[in-house]
A and B are shown apart, each in its own frame.
Chain A
Amino acid sequence: MSYLALQNVSIQFGGLKAVDGVSFAVEKGQIFTIIGPNGAGKTTLFNLISRLYAASSGKIVFKGEDITQVPAQQIAARGIARTFQNIELFDNASTLQNLLVGRHRHSNTRFFEDLFFLPRVRREEVEHRRAAEEVMEFLRLQRYRDSLIGGLPYGVRKVVEVGRALCVGPELLLLDEPSSGLNVDETDRMADWILEINRRLGITILMVEHDMSLVSRVSDRVVALNYGRIMAEGSAQEVQSHPDVVAAYLGA
């Protein structure tokens, strides 16, 4: 049985079928990439998996559990974390605070405990901070620890968002265009981190990406999407040379 399986998933916005009967399976430990032209439905697919959208039909199964009806705020607790294409950080908070929000699923304190800052809250806080600090060390974010996100350069924010997702302690990480808006150096470093997150931390990665050199460098398996349908699936090489994919990108 596969780790994450999409079975015939569709979503319709009015008359538009943004995702139309998509099925694929991600195996544990893989780096699985979705490519496709603009408007192909890649981000919509991500929003379906993280349950920000409700699928019109089909099933999404994660580790044997049907998560098609699970509320969005309970997805993190299942071990799925994500980043966003255009960065959805908390702009008026520091890097540390952003990472600490990533730890939200690990806090068990109730409102009244927080109100009085009981010893258990203090203990958990120290634990959260230790975990966040580890992630900061991993991604070399320490120097931005107390800076407000609103004042950080775009490239750093992109990394902070990955850090926040790592703080969730995920088994499956959804990266929505991790290299968009990054320069060549930053893209290169991002690729290193993606590999390291996958190999060293053992996190399965599902990502949407346009940069083909990054895709072929890190991906174990690639799916090409167009008009909400799967055009091709296979290794990066196979998909890239698939006639339909070439046609979709170059227009034939």
Chain B
Amino acid sequence: MSFRIRTGYEDDLRLFKTRESAIAYGLLLAVLLAAPFLIGSYFLSQIVFVLIYTIVGVGLVLLSGYAGQTSIGHAAFLAIGAYTAANAAKYGVPIYVYLPAAALLTGVVGWLVGLPALRLHGIYLAIATFAFALIVEEILARWERVTNGNEGMMIKPATLVGKPLGESGLYYLCVFCTVVVVLLAVNVIRSPTGRAFVALRDSETAARSMGVDAARYKTFAFALSAGMTGLAGVLYAHKLSFISPEMFTLSLSIEFVMIIIIGGVASIRGAALGAIFMIMVDPLLVLLKDGLPGLIGRISGSPLLQDKASVLLSAPGVKSLIFGLIIIFFIIHEPMGLDGRWIKLKTWLTQFPFYRPATFRRQKMYLKSERGR
């Protein structure tokens, strides 16, 4: 076991709490930077998707995990970022201009979406954001002059000072953006703004009595989260090089919410873990679909059963079903997500053999004032 001895108020404000964690994150960054030289293009593009999902996840962690506001409309923010990029690229605007501009624009839209959040809570807010996502989807399909409607849009490959960015260039851009977004998020969390978010989440009444302006902070949380998602949208558009309205549906928004449920709702690291999980699920599902029927056939010795299994697994709703099961599993067995698992594992290792399983047991609380609401 180790104890951290603090000798000044600055100690809690550091970016890295210990030297070990600074070294660990440094190594991670080094690996990420070296990756294009080490691995093939398939894995590289998987990492790009992980990074994009991480950015969205970080945005959602700030909004849902810290500020306590629900959103199942984040696909719409991604779409706004993506379409902004597609249009800007069409007119030859350089990427270093439209990347921050798209984030800013999406942030403003997010601020507007945050306004109803001042009056709505919980499930009602979720429905409001869902409605917003539907409206955006409809606009994307109908506003053909800008979005090219249901035919979708090709995105010109990004160029930097005249040279095409290329596959590894886009990868490095994603790494850069992820690092920036994570740093901004960590800054918010350790500053008064982050504390105001937490205060609003846990007790709005008390927060207001401490002088926290609920309206300002809620709308800012929405703007910040949307801005990050818009930034991810630009990268997403360039990664896919083709976008169309049916890519930004409810199911994508739900995938985003899954990132933070699986990763851990109030943790930046959790967002990254959740993103890795969500990207890995697809290849695993394919593996399952290909391998499982054969296995069943071999075990049971009946080709009929094998056929049935294969039909069942290729049914259109199977992916959603499995996603649903995963969400339920995590909510019941690990509400703190993969990040919670990680923390428990670390504690187990540092305290071995004296680890007490009750350390992380949740306490039930019954007293909560309903007054003044």
Could you tell me which A residues sit within 8 Å of B by CB distance?
A: 43, 47, 50, 52-53, 72-77, 81-82, 84-93, 96-97, 100-105, 107, 109, 111, 113-117, 121-122, 124-126, 128-130, 133, 150-151, 154, 164, 168
Kindly state the separation between the CA atoms of A103 and B9 in the bound complex, as whole angstroms.
15
Chain B 351-373, CB within 8 Å of chain A: the 1/0 string?
00000000000010101110110
Chain B 84-126, CB within 8 Å of chain A: the 1/0 string?
0000000000000000000000000000000000000000000
B209 and A81: CB pair below 8 A? yes
CB-nearest residue of chain A to B200: A90
B365 and A101: CB pair below 8 A? no
B195 and A125: CB pair below 8 A? no
CB contacts under 8 Å to A, within B192-250, are 192-196, 198-199, 201-203, 205-214, 220, 224
A47 and B210: CB pair below 8 A? no
Question: 7 A–B contact pairs at CB < 8 A?
Answer: A91-B202, A101-B199, A109-B191, A114-B188, A121-B191, A129-B12, A168-B210
B369 and A101: CB pair below 8 A? no
Kindly state the separation between the CA atoms of A132 and B212 in the bound complex, as whole angstroms.
17
CB contacts under 8 Å to A, within B316-373, are 363, 365, 367-369, 371-372
Say whether, besides A88-B203, A88-B205, A151-B363, A104 and B210 are in contact (CB < 8 Å): yes
Contact of A87 among B224, B266, B369 (CB under 8 A): B369
Instruction: Answer yes or no: B20 CB below 8 A from chain A CBs.
Output: no
Say whether, besides A84-B369, A86-B367, A101-B210, A114 and B187 are in contact (CB < 8 Å): yes
CB-nearest residue of chain A to B68: A92
Q: Shortest distance in angstroms between A48's beta carbon and chain B's nearest beta carbon?
A: 10
Q: Shortest distance in angstroms between B80's beta carbon and chain A's nearest beta carbon?
A: 21
Kindly state the separation between the CA atoms of A91 and B202 in the bound complex, as whole angstroms.
6
Residues in B with CB closer than 8 Å to A76 are 209-211
Residues in A with CB closer than 8 Å to B9 are 125-126, 129-130, 133
Kindly state the separation between the CA atoms of A91 and B210 in the bound complex, as whole angstroms.
15
Residues of chain B at interface, number, CB under 8 A: 39
Residues in B with CB closer than 8 Å to A105 are 210-211
Instruction: Answer yes or no: B184 CB below 8 A from chain A CBs.
Output: yes
CB-nearest residue of chain B to A52: B372
CB-nearest residue of chain A to B198: A93
Say whether, besides A53-B372, A85-B371, A86-B367, A73 and B205 are in contact (CB < 8 Å): no
Q: Shortest distance in angstroms between A229's beta carbon and chain B's nearest beta carbon?
A: 21
Interface centre among A52, A82, A104 (most CB of B within 10 A): A104
Q: Shortest distance in angstroms between B120's beta carbon and chain A's nearest beta carbon?
A: 19
Instruction: Answer yes or no: B13 CB below 8 A from chain A CBs.
Output: yes
Contact of A88 among B187, B198, B224, B369 (CB under 8 A): B369
B13 and A122: CB pair below 8 A? yes
A82 and B209: CB pair below 8 A? yes
Which 7 residue pairs are nearest across A and B when measured between Cβ atoms?
A76-B211, A114-B191, A86-B369, A88-B206, A90-B202, A105-B211, A117-B187
A115 and B214: CB pair below 8 A? no
Kindly state the separation between the CA atoms of A90 and B199 in the bound complex, as whole angstroms.
6
Say whether, besides A114-B193, A121-B191, A104 and B266 are in contact (CB < 8 Å): no
Residues in A with CB closer than 8 Å to B184 are 115-116
Interface centre among B191, B196, B211 (most CB of A within 10 A): B211
Kindly state the separation between the CA atoms of A124 and B209 in the bound complex, as whole angstroms.
21
Instruction: Answer yes or no: B190 CB below 8 A from chain A CBs.
Output: yes
Say whether, besides A86-B369, A90-B198, A114 and B213 are in contact (CB < 8 Å): no
Kindly state the separation between the CA atoms of A125 and B194 in the bound complex, as whole angstroms.
12
B365 and A73: CB pair below 8 A? no
A117 and B202: CB pair below 8 A? no
Kindly state the separation between the CA atoms of A96 and B9 in the bound complex, as whole angstroms.
12
Kindly state the separation between the CA atoms of A116 and B194 in the bound complex, as whole angstroms.
13
Residues in A with CB closer than 8 Å to B211 are 73-77, 104-105, 168
Kindly state the separation between the CA atoms of A44 and B174 in the bound complex, as whole angstroms.
53
A101 and B10: CB pair below 8 A? no
Interface centre among B187, B209, B368 (most CB of A within 10 A): B209
Q: Shortest distance in angstroms between B302's beta carbon and chain A's nearest beta carbon?
A: 52
Residues in B with CB closer than 8 Å to A117 are 187, 190-191
A90 and B190: CB pair below 8 A? no
Q: Shortest distance in angstroms between A162's beta carbon and chain B's nearest beta carbon?
A: 13
CB-nearest residue of chain B to A82: B209
Kindly state the separation between the CA atoms of A102 and B199 in the bound complex, as whole angstroms.
10
A92 and B202: CB pair below 8 A? yes
